[in-house]
Structures are given as structure tokens and as C-alpha cells.
């Protein structure tokens, strides 16, 4: 009987060596602002040193601290892929999602702080309830006078009508915009860019019947007019929503007294700023 043909062996040692060469070749210091509202005291920075791969995300480094060095470190995260919006925080002074920022882009010394303008509950976890209260105040859901769609089955919309509010459908409610807004820092009752973005999403939806009501809500002294067109919100948004442009469109609709007459403008070419 012929001897069995030896199966080719996988070069596991070589692969491991290659991985070792590529992995953990960056030693970074995380300087994290720690605070616990339950025990009080003063917020203070604590430093942690971790080994990381340049293509790790800041969230990976935080996980390394929490899982292997200090289990008391507290922060929110869920999807780890820029979808749930739960890990917005200040990274080197800029509002970012920790799961979307690569270690190689932040350098070897990273300062991490909670979002500004909300009460800190613990470490990087802030009280988001005022943010969601502002969000709820603009009726962020479809309101239709017709209980049953005209054809009894669907609320049909043209491609152009759907395109009208496409940008503002992308919001993941991370609060990076609102907490980077100087108008919000100065006045916590300002409805904030995130709520306006979510109002915009329905105000310009041809199937919705509550645009006038939302415009009235936003025509308040704590509504859109608190926006001073500073653009911080647009720069902070991890979804690249043109927030300042959306706020401008809501302001214009208030001045015209209607959202419906707004002509559809197509943005072509490079990503328009605004």
C-alpha cells in the first residue's frame, strides 16, 4: 500500500512571527479624566500605558485598560463599528467616536475626556437624558393625517422627495454635534444641532403632516435661532451630515412659513461643506 501523501503543513510559526512583528508596536499613554458622581470628589486625570497596534482603535486601548488594568474605568460602547453612537467622547480635545479613531492617528499620548455640557455620571459616561428630551421635543417620528395611505397599502414617495432629507436620516444620536456647540455650552436649554437634524429629517419628508408644528417648536428662543453658524457640529459629526446646512434649511423654512415650497437642490461633485 502506498504511503499517504503528507499534507502540507501550515507555516504557523512564520505567521505568528509575522503577526508579532506587526502587532503591539506602539506603546501609548492614555490620560483619562476620572470622576464618580456617587463618591464625589474632584475629577482627576489618571494615566495608563498600553501596547497597541497602530490600526487598533482608541476603543481597543480603552478595553485593554478596563479588561487588564483597571476594571473600574467606565465608558459606554456597544457596536464597536460606528453605528450605535454610544462611545462619543473627547479624544485629544475633539469629539469623536472611540471606535472610529485609529491609534496611529492620535499619537502616543492620548487625552480622553467625557463630552462637554452634560453631567458626568462616571468617568466617560454622561447623563444623556437632557439630550434625548430635546430630541423628543421635535416629534422625531412620522406624523400622518391619513390613518390609511391613499392607496390603502403604501405611502409612496418619489426618488427626489426621498433624496430631500436623505442626509439627515444618517444620524446615530451620538451627541458629538450638540456637545461641541458653543451655543449649547452657553445655554443648556438650546435644543441643539442633533435635535434640529432629526426635526429636519421629518420636516422635509413629503409623507409627513407635522412640519408646521415642528417649525413652530424650532422658532422658539431656544430653537434654531440660537445657532450662530459656527460649524463645530458639522466638523464633529462622525456621519458627515451637513448639519449647518440642515439647520440653515430649517431657518429658511421658518422664514418662508413652509417647508413644502422649498425647491429640491441637488448637490453634485465633492462633498459640500455645511
Residues that bind ligand SF4 in the complex, under the rule CB under 6 A: 85, 171-177, 193-194, 197, 236-239, 241, 243
Please, what is the minimum distance in Å from the beta carbon of residue 12 to ligand FES? 32
Instruction: Kindly state whether residue 79 participates in binding ligand FES, applying the rule CB under 6 A.
Output: yes
Q: Answer with the entry of ligand FES, ligand SF4, none that 83 interacts with (C-beta below 5 to 8 A by kind).
A: ligand FES
**Of ligand SF4, ligand FES, none, which one sits near residue 140, judging by CB under 5 to 8 A according to partner kind?**
none
Nearest approach in angstroms of CB 166 to ligand FES is: 21
Burial letters 5-30, b for 16+ CB under 10 A, else e: eeeeeeeeeeeeeeeeeeeeebebeb
Shortest spacing between CB 263 and ligand FES, in angstroms = 35
H helical segments located in 24-170: 58-64, 129-137, 159-163
**Is residue 83 near ligand FES by the rule CB under 6 A?**
yes
How many separate helices (H) and strands (E) can be counted in the chain?
9, 7
Task: Check if the beta carbon of residue 54 is closer than 8 Å to that of residue 26.
Answer: yes
State the minimum distance, in angstroms, from the CB of residue 117 to ligand FES.
Answer: 19
As a whole number of angstroms, the distance between CA 62 and CA 32 comes to: 9
Task: Verify binding: residue 246, ligand FES, rule CB under 6 A.
Answer: no
Closest contact distance (angstroms) between CB of 241 and ligand FES is 15
Cell, residue 105: 492617528
3-state secondary structure of 136: helix
97 near ligand FES (CB under 6 A): yes
Q: Which of 199, 243 has the CB closer to ligand SF4?
A: 243
* Residues in CB range of 56: below 8 A, 6 or more apart: 102, 103
CB closer to ligand FES, 178 vs 183: 178
In sequence order, the 6+-apart residues with CB closer than 8 A to the CB of 225 are 219, 251
φ/ψ of 68, rounded to 5, equals -120, -15
CA distances from 244 to 162, 193, 227, 229 (A): 20, 8, 9, 6
Nearer to ligand SF4, 136 or 256 (CB): 136
Q: In terms of CB distance, is 172 or 227 closer to ligand FES? A: 172
Q: Which is nearer to ligand SF4, 37 or 133 (CB)?
A: 133
Q: How far is the CB of 164 from ligand FES (least distance, A)?
A: 27
Q: Return the range that interacts with ligand FES (CB under 6 A); candidates 79-87, 121-129, 201-209, 242-250.
A: 79-87
Question: How far is the C-alpha of 47 from the C-alpha of 62, rounded, in Å?
Answer: 12
174 or 191: CB nearest ligand FES: 174
Q: Is 62 in the site for ligand FES (CB under 6 A)?
A: no
Q: Whose grid coordinates read 462637554?
A: 116
Is residue 146 within 8 Å of residue 206, measured between CB atoms?
no
**Is residue 80 close enough to count as binding ligand FES by CB under 6 A?**
yes
Residues that bind ligand FES (CB under 6 A): 77-80, 82-87, 97, 99
Amino acid at each position: 500500500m502506498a504511503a499517504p501523501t503528507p499534507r502540507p503543513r501550515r507555516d504557523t510559526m512564520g505567521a505568528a512571527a509575522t503577526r508579532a512583528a506587526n502587532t503591539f508596536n506602539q506603546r501609548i499613554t492614555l490620560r483619562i479624566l476620572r470622576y464618580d458622581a456617587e463618591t464625589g470628589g474632584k475629577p482627576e486625570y489618571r494615566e495608563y500605558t498600553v501596547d497597541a497596534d497602530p490600526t487598533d482603535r482608541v476603543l481597543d486601548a480603552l478595553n485593554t485598560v478596563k479588561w487588564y488594568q483597571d476594571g473600574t474605568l467606565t465608558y459606554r460602547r456597544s457596536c464597536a463599528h460606528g453605528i450605535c453612537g454610544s462611545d462619543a467622547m473627547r479624544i485629544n480635545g475633539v469629539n469623536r467616536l472611540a471606535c472610529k479613531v485609529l491609534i496611529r492617528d492620535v499619537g502616543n499620548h492620548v487625552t480622553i475626556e467625557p463630552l462637554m455640557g452634560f453631567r458626568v455620571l462616571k468617568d466617560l459616561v454622561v447623563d444623556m437624558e437632557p439630550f434625548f428630551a430635546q430630541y423628543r421635543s421635535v416629534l422625531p417620528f412620522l406624523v400622518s393625517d391619513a390613518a390609511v395611505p391613499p392607496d390603502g397599502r403604501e405611502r409612496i414617495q418619489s426618488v427626489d422627495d426621498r433624496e430631500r432629507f436623505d442626509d439627515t436620516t444618517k444620524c446615530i444620536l451620538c451627541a458629538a454635534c450638540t456637545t461641541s456647540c458653543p451655543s449649547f455650552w452657553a445655554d443648556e436649554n438650546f435644543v441643539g444641532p442633533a435635535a434640529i437634524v432629526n426635526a429636519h429629517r421629518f420636516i422635509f419628508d413629503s409623507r409627513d403632516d407635522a412640519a408646521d408644528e415642528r417649525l413652530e417648536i424650532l422658532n422658539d428662543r431656544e430653537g434654531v435661532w440660537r445657532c450662530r453658524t459656527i460649524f463645530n457640529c458639522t466638523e464633529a459629526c462622525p456621519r458627515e451630515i451637513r448639519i449647518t446646512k440642515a439647520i440653515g434649511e430649517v431657518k429658511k423654512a421658518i422664514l418662508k412659513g413652509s417647508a413644502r415650497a422649498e425647491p429640491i437642490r441637488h448637490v453634485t461633485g465633492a462633498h459640500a461643506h455645511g
